Amino acid sequence: MKILITGSAGFIGYHLTKKLCQQGIEVIAIDSINNYYDEDLKYSRLAELGIYIDKLDSEHIRSSKYNDLIFKKIDLVDSDKIKKLFSENNFDIVCNLAAQAGVRYSITNPQTYIESNIKGFLNILEASKDSNINHLIYASSSSVYGLNKNYPYSVKNLSDSPASLYAASKKSNELMAHSYSHLYGLNTTGLRFFTVYGPWGRPDMAYFLFTKAAYENSEIKVFNNGDLYRDFTYIDDIVDGIEAIIKKSFIKKNNLDDASSNSHRIYNIGNNSPVSLMEFINKIESITGKEIKKVMKPMQMGDIYKTFADIDTLTEDYGFKPKTNLDDGLKIFNEWYKTYYKV
């Protein structure tokens, strides 16, 4: 099995790459290593994979830790490099986890989302179609549910009222993938991630910002006066879900009656257990042993009130069951944070 993972220096991409490489699966990993957040954290993730990059010269690099891992610095928007990458490799499966993330950032930097999330994804679709890829698995987001208030969110719910351009770009990915599945028989699966957290996570996410504030004795902004709910999902559970899809798809690729062989599928992948923002902050205060200074703020533009994943279809088709409760997950993250930042 040979797999392409895009966004491999990112949070989810790093963890998935590591998990598959530990099992001896051949992986080509790519990332543009943009500066949306701390580039040093991205280089540190790659170093954990045995990829050591001179920041000024990052060509084709083979891992010093995993024999079957090769990294290439490629931006999805570069269609010529993407075409060349696919033509030189016979990928069985593509996991597209590269994207411009961030709901609030999309308010002030809309063009970035069109370039990366629309044009970049189109390049992946085109290359996958032309190369007869067995299965394209791609990252969507719980944000596609937007202003929908039917809880828990089901893939059967409408998702046509995005509250941000980021959400709109992810919904566009789903529609684009559907059209390629319909037109060309490309097997695609979109995963709507629900607030992923854990070690090596994204510094722009609330759990990261709140933990940082606790140790630095700085203040945090608490939006909608704390009246928000999120379905926090631990990174290992996310990776286990993706891995299950990859393996079932590969093993059953010739069985057209199998769920993994349907041309286009969408799944929620979450913890199925929303927690209030204030309870979440209290947990971080308890774990760090620090009281966090809070500045209450109104609802932010682009935010949604609550996320809550109905994961029944993913459980039925792939046996997905989240294993990590929020307290345990935050404790593991806290220990990683203290080690990495030498707190």
**Cβ(197)–Cβ(160) below 8 Å:** no
* DSSP 3-state of 78: coil
Among 33, 58, 18, which Cα is nearest to 198's? 18
Cα separation of 27 and 39, whole Å? Answer: 22
Distance CA 40, CA 251 (A): 37
Preceding amide of 152 cis, omega within 30:
yes
CB 322 within 8 A of CB 234: yes
Distance CA 154, CA 310 (A): 5
Catalytic residue, from 166, 180, 197, 337: name it. Answer: 166
* Cβ atoms of 322 and 233 closer than 8 Å: yes
Closest residue by Cα to residue 189 from 173, 203, 200: 173
* Gap between the Cα atoms of 89 and 29, Å rounded: 12
CA dist., res. 238 & res. 261, Å (int): 21
Establish whether 52 is a catalytic residue.
no
Distance CA 33, CA 116 (A): 12
Strand partners, 233: 196
Catalytic residue set: 166
